[in-house]
Chains A and B, each alone.
Chain A
Amino acid sequence: MEWDWDFVWEILPTLAKGVIITIQATLLGSVLAMVLGLFTALARRSPSKWISAPMFVFNDFIRGTPLLVQLYFLFFILPDLGILLSPLAAGVIGLGIHYSAYISEVYGAGIDNVSKGQWEASKAVNLTVPQTWRHVILPQAIPPMIPALANYFVAMFKETPLLAAITVIELMNAARSVANESYRYLEPMTLVGVFFLLVSIPCVLMLRHLEKRFAPNDQR
C-alpha cells in the first residue's frame, strides 16, 4: 500500500472538523473535572465520616473502572432516566467525572503540602478561615499543582478518541468513517497519530517547563 498525498489533501477538511470536536471535548472536560475535583477534594476532607468515606470509595471506584464503560453507562442509562443528552455532552460529563477523581487527589496533595505552621501562623495573626485560604494557603498550594493538572489534561486529550464509541464525531471517528468509505486506512489512521503527536509533544515540553518553573525552591 502506497502513501497517497492527494488522498491526504482530500480528507484533511473532514479530519479538521474532528479536531475541533476533540479540542472542545478536552477543554470542556478539563473545566468540569477541575470543578468536580474541587468538590470531591473538599468532601474528602470533611470532618464527618458519612461524607468523606463514601467519597473515598467513589474516587477509588471511578479510578478502578474503564472510562469506556463509564461512558457507555452514562450514554445508555441517562436516557432511561429521562435525561436526554447530546453524545458530546455525555462524553464531556464522562471525561469530567473520570478525571475529577484524579484531580481531586492533586488538590488534596497540594493542600496537604502546605505545612501546618502556616495555619497556626494565620490563626496567630487573627485571620479568619476564608482569609487564611485566600491569602495564605491557596497561593502556596496552587503553583505546585499546576504541572500535575496539566499532565492530566494531556492524558484526557489522549483519551478523547473513546468518545467515538458513543457516536461523537471527533477526530478518530472522522478518520474511521473516511477510512470505511474509501477502504484506505493507512493515511487517515496515520494522520490521527501525527495530529496527537503534534499536540502532545509541545504540551509535554511545556509541562517540563512548568515543572521547573513551579518546583519548590529547594528542588530547582
Chain B
Amino acid sequence: MIDWPGYIGLILKGAILTLQLTSAGIALALVMAFVAGLARLSPSASVRWLATIYIEFFRGTSVFVQLFWAYFVLPLIGVPISPFQAGVLALGLNVGAYGAEVVRGAVQAVPREQHEACTALNLTRWQSLRHVIVPQAFVVMLPTFGNNAIELLKGTAIVSLISLSDMTFQAQVVRAQTGNTAIPFLTILILYYLISLVISQSTRRLERRLSAGLDVKT
C-alpha cells in the first residue's frame, strides 16, 4: 500500500521551495531589469555598453549553462555559493536581461512631450523618471513582465538538476520510491499550471488598477 498523502506532502514541500525560488528570482530580475534597462538609456556611453554586454550575454547563452556555471564554476574561483543562491542568481540575472529590454522599450514608448514637459518643469533626470516616466511606462511593461515571470517559474524546474529539492525534484523522488510516474508528474504539472494562472491573473489585475486614470494604451 502506497502512502499517497505522505508523498503528496513531499511534493507540496517542494512546491514551497519552487515558490520561494520564483519570488526571490522575480525580485532579483525586477531590480536587474530596471538597472540594466535604464542604464541602456543612459547618456554615458560606457554605462550603455556595460548594460548591453550584460543583456546580450545573458540572453545569448542558455539559462541552463548559466546555472551550471554559477553552481560549479563560481565555487572553484573562490565564490562560495549555495545551490539556492546559484538558482536565484542564474534565474534572476537571466530573466532580468529579458526584462531590461522590456523596460527600455516601455520607457522609449513614453511620448516625447512627457520628457519635454519634465525639462520645462525643471525636474532632475531622476525626478522625471520617478514621477513621470516610470509610472506610465510600468503599465506598458506589466503584460510582458507577467510572461517573463511565468518563464522564470518554468525555469525553476531546472534547479532540481543541481540537487535542490524543488517540486520537480520531489516528483522524481516519489517516482523512484513508488515506481509510479503518472501521479507525481501529473500532480506537479497541474501545480505549475495553477501557479502560472495565479501569476497571469494577478498581473492582469495589477495592470487594470495601475492604468486607471492614466492616459496610456495597453
A contacts, CB < 8 Å to B: 1, 60-61, 63-70, 72-73, 76-77, 80, 158-162, 164-165, 172, 176, 179, 185-186, 189-190, 192-193, 196-197, 200-201, 204
Contacts and interface: CB of A to CB of B under 8 A. Distances in A.
Contact of A69 (B66, B73, B157): B157
A201 B60 contact: yes
A61 B155 CA distance: 15
B77 interface: yes
Interface in B120-155: 150, 153-155
A201 B56 contact: yes
Given A72-B172, A186-B73, 18 more contacts: A64-B192, A64-B193, A64-B197, A66-B156, A67-B157, A69-B157, A69-B192, A80-B181, A158-B61, A159-B62, A185-B73, A189-B65, A189-B68, A189-B73, A190-B73, A193-B66, A196-B62, A200-B60
A70 to B, nearest CB: 8
Q: Pick the 10 closest A-B CB pairs, nearest first.
A: A64-B196, A66-B157, A158-B62, A161-B64, A66-B154, A76-B181, A185-B72, A68-B157, A65-B192, A196-B61
B214 interface: no
A1 B72 contact: no
Nearest to A1: B76
B60 A68 contact: no
Contact of A73 (B69, B150, B160, B189): B189
Nearest to B72: A185
B185 A189 contact: no
A162 B158 contact: yes
Contacts, number: 110
A69 B157 CA distance: 7
A189 B68 CA distance: 7
Nearest to A72: B185
Identify whether the interface residues of B are mostly helix, strand, loop, or mixed: helix
A103 to B, nearest CB: 16
A165 B161 contact: yes
Interface of B: 56-57, 59-66, 68-69, 72-73, 76-77, 150, 153-158, 160-161, 168, 171-172, 175, 181-182, 185-186, 188-189, 192-193, 196-197, 200
Given A158-B63, A196-B65, A68 B158 contact: yes
B154 A161 contact: no
Contact of A189 (B72, B175, B189): B72
A189 B69 contact: yes
Identify which of A77, A189, A192 gathers the most chain B CB atoms within 10 Å of its CB. Answer: A189
A179 B76 CA distance: 13
12 contacts: A61-B193, A63-B196, A64-B200, A67-B154, A69-B157, A72-B171, A73-B189, A77-B181, A159-B62, A164-B161, A172-B64, A196-B62
Identify which of A69, A159, A179 gathers the most chain B CB atoms within 10 Å of its CB. Answer: A69
A72 B61 contact: no
Contact of A64 (B63, B150, B161, B172): B150
Nearest to A176: B68
Nearest to A157: B62
A76 B153 CA distance: 23
Identify which of B63, B65, B160, B171 gathers the most chain A CB atoms within 10 Å of its CB. Answer: B65
B185 A73 contact: yes
